[in-house]
Structure 1
């Protein structure tokens, strides 16, 4: 029964402090002003009991504010009837103001509960005035205190509502941002898969053609080998067809086809030339001994450089950029740095280089260029880091692991 009535409600520290303050002040007032003179308390026990009851009720003020305000009026009437005096206790006035504030802060003023709460507030004010035979000024002073308590409660409720709305909006925006990020990752992975399809299809086609060529050059004395190669050739053609069907699923309805070979680091000079023609002084340097790379890895390294240079050109306000490709014994490092100052359209809090909002190669990364670059690096077991560099500018570093060349230990 009590659990159904109170639910998970618990009094706060403020509730306890207010309860102790009213109860203690009421006891001090009741016994401290005991006397038979006008303005003194003849029988302090009813006053003290009323103060204890009022203080206890304040523990429940946030759970039953309107009910407790009416109950406080009843306590005042009971104390007045028992004591038989016209003395109005300060603890009752303090408790009234606290509950008036709580009523206003816990109910919407324009709702039915709000109108009922306002009626109880007016009743409490009227009851307070019956204890005193005051002039108009005293009546106005009491009205000001009650009005301020009620108005501050309304302002508190509006502030709480606004805070809740802002919190809900922030939560909703965070959920939407995470959903966009997940969608961008999925789209980028599909795009990477489409590009790798072209590479795999080309290689399988070349293998199939070479197998067919070898089969045709074998004589009749190698009939068994010819049959085996024919099986390999047929399997290759079936694999190419399966890859073509898979690409149709990845591209989706209306997606453009490619069919062209994907670029690699051997086409990097052409990319640098295009960027230079656009107005950015790009300095390309290759360290270490270049060697053939797996097509997928070469494509990913190329796309990272392309993405980074495009964002530098669009958003970094840079005059120059350095591209350093380092062939190590067990890894390939790609580093792109610029001398820009940022201040792109991404606004405060972004990196100023557009990595939160721009694609690079006409495919459209839907606002997540940095996500795409990281996906490409992670696909090959590598890693990518991006951030400001000492002395100004911005840098992107991608590291791709490589197998050690044959003969190197």
Structure 2
């Protein structure tokens, strides 16, 4: 572009015939060539290219060489500085150079209004063209940046979804297996102790053990089916709820721990996620009682109110020694409860034992 502008300026110089001006000579050629050479800096240093071209052009005009041949190099300089995004510098130079030059040519050189208008219009047109190119470049860069940010966000979202799904699978399998395996271990130990002296009682323990294994397999299959389907909301057919609390408590009683179950309030259909969370809270709390508490009795209370469901599981055992370590089961329960905008607390009771309680708000449509 610099070479083309220089050749155009030289061609205009030797074809110009302005009356009263100095004839073209080596100095005029050198100034125009130097002005075109300054354009070689238009990409790395657009300001230097602009000021160099304008300065050499002013020297050319001050020496009274024919006007007009300087326009090609000036137009390229104005276009380049505007295309580089230096809008205000270009506006300032166009106003000062173009305005000052127009006044000088009108007052001193007595040029026609049409010639002055055409010259200024060409310079302004070069600026507008360069500014348009700069705007398109900024838009393209912004679009590329948005696409890049969208790709990064999509990747982070996919990673978060995968991590959440892993946590969900781990939580479901823990809740399903921990209680059943604990109960089966208790029954297996009881059967081993009673095999010689009370074989009938041992056989009953083994039968309960086998039934627990079948129930565990059925629940694992149902849980895997829900996980494979990808449904966040569990279905009533596959997920346990309030209706199965009696069976859950009965299994714990058969394992040797007396449990009192009380369900208060109206027995109505609740959201499946709420019923599943209530079931898991009772299941995990009773599992911990069997495994850790050394309790002689436990009590479960589920209160169904119009606006929320409250769950409380208490025992008379030794309580929790390391309260700062809630364990994977309680952490999973806390995640379930938070997902339903509820509150969960697990703490030692003042009079001994341990208490797990939760409040699960109900959606407006179910109140």
TM-score, length basis structure 1 = 0.44
- Larger radius of gyration between Structure 1 and Structure 2: 2
TM-score, length basis structure 2 = 0.48
